[in-house]
């Protein structure tokens, strides 16, 4: 048995003891449960499950943000070998890096730090800035906030349409040469990116059939075309070690082209939002509502109607979880990890108990029956194109 929940649909989670037979490590004899994976040409060693730090003070439910609680979550993740701490200068802005820096000051050797540059946050807008001079200043500022001498993975959050991406990437490569950064990564264009018009009709037909394409891959031609073009361009300047993009049971578009591109080139894939902004954990109730500053308040999949319509997906995860003594969240994460040895899941949380539960997903091995059932789950309802 892995980790259970006190009752279906509730937000509290309980943790069962980890299995015996592993060496105790970390404070208080906590056992490392997370397997190691290597990403990029430099064979960077990281835990298969990491920690998305953004929810700790940006994008989700401000009233529930608590610095001390978030620090406990980071420590709990590191104790279990979840080495990747994923942050960005725009989260807060800046406060997320400051929080992570408080942990790094004590435990730098335990962490693999991933942060990002390229987006500036204003009062009512976010703009891209890929000018080489800005990128170098942004890196220095991130190093100060993170209280570290080197960033393990420095990612371009978004390419600046007014600056050739090769110029931005070249400036980032110079940071590697200067010893300030170990490796470079690129974040994929997000959910609101333009899609080919014909894909909208394909989406509707796919929903009518109730399927998502062969092997559970969403039929999403063109979704990551812009990202793939950028990757081909920057790869000529300096090697890409990792690509970060959304991937989850209810957002499978990366399986079509982006994930195979990474696998073929030995590039790591950092799966963002692997729990579907929390929906796949089964802890959210249709119609519960979200605070105005919560990004889900404006997301089409989090209307009361769409949350109710997508409950069959969570129900399917619960069925699989029941066979393993696991939780829906752990099944969702295990599905992501099963996409390939180059994949690292980055579930975001600000709560210690959920960080512990997420780490437990690394122990879960889904069977062929499990994977087949998940592949047959209905496509998610609600999108930016509908």
Contact indicator for 314, 8 with CB cutoff of 8 Å: no
Distances (CA, A) of 30 to 77, 104, 108: 11, 19, 18
Nearest-angstrom CA–CA distance, 335 and 13:
20
Of 173, 153, 159, 87, which Cα lies nearest the Cα of 119?
Answer: 159
- Choosing from 60, 91, 134, 154, the catalytic residue is 91
Nearest-angstrom CA–CA distance, 99 and 87:
10
DSSP 332-380: HHHHHHTT-TTEEEE-B-S-HHHHHHHHHGGG----HHHHHHHHTSPPP
The residue with tokens 């959304």 is 246
Nearest-angstrom CA–CA distance, 70 and 87:
13
CB crowding 32-64: b at 16 or more within 10 Å, else e: bbbeebebbeeebebbbbbbbbbbbbbbbbeee
Of 164, 133, 140, 165, which Cα lies nearest the Cα of 154?
Answer: 140
Active site residue 91: yes
Burial class (CB in 10 A: 0-12, 13-18, 19+), 122: exposed
- Using only C-alpha atoms, the chain has a radius of gyration, in whole angstroms, of 20
- Provide the annotated active-site residues: 91
């Amino acid at each position: 048995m892995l980790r259970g929940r006190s009752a279906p649909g509730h937000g509290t989670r309980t943790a069962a003891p980890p299995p015996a037979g592993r060496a105790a490590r970390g404070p208080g004899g906590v056992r490392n449960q997370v397997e190691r994976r290597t990403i990029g040409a430099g064979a960077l060693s990281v835990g298969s499950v990491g920690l998305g730090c953004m929810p700790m003070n940006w994008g989700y439910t401000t009233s529930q943000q608590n610095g001390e609680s978030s620090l406990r979550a980071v420590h709990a993740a590191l104790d279990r070998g979840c080495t990747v701490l994923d942050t960005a200068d725009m989260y807060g802005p800046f406060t997320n890096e400051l929080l992570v820096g408080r942990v790094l000051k004590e435990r730098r050797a335990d962490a693999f730090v991933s942060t990002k540059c390229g987006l500036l946050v204003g009062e009512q807008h976010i703009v891209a800035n890929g000018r080489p001079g800005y990128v170098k200043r942004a890196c220095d500022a991130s190093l100060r906030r993170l209280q570290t001498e080197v960033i393990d993975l420095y990612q371009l959050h978004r390419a600046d349409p007014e600056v050739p991406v090769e110029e931005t990437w070249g400036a980032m490569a110079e940071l590697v040469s200067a010893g300030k950064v170990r490796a470079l990564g690129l974040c994929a264009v997000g959910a609101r990116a333009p899609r080919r018009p014909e894909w909208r009709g394909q989406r509707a037909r796919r929903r009518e059939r109730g399927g998502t394409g062969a092997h559970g891959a969403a039929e999403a031609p063109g979704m990551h075309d812009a990202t793939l073009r950028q990757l081909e361009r920057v790869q000529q300047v300096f090697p890409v070690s990792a690509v970060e993009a959304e991937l989850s049971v209810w957002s499978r578009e990366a399986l079509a082209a982006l994930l195979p591109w990474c696998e073929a080139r030995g590039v790591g894939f950092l799966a963002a939002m692997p729990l579907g902004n929390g929906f796949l954990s089964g802890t959210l109730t249709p119609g519960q509502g979200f605070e105005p500053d919560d990004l889900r308040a404006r997301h089409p999949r989090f209307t009361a109607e769409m949350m109710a319509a997508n409950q069959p997906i969570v129900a399917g995860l619960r069925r699989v979880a029941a066979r393993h003594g696991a939780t829906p969240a752990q099944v969702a994460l295990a599905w992501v990890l099963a996409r390939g040895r180059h994949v690292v899941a980055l579930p975001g949380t600000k709560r210690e108990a959920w960080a512990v539960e997420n780490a437990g997903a690394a122990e879960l091995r889904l069977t062929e029956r499990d994977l087949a059932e998940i592949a047959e789950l209905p496509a998610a309802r609600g999108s930016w194109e509908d």
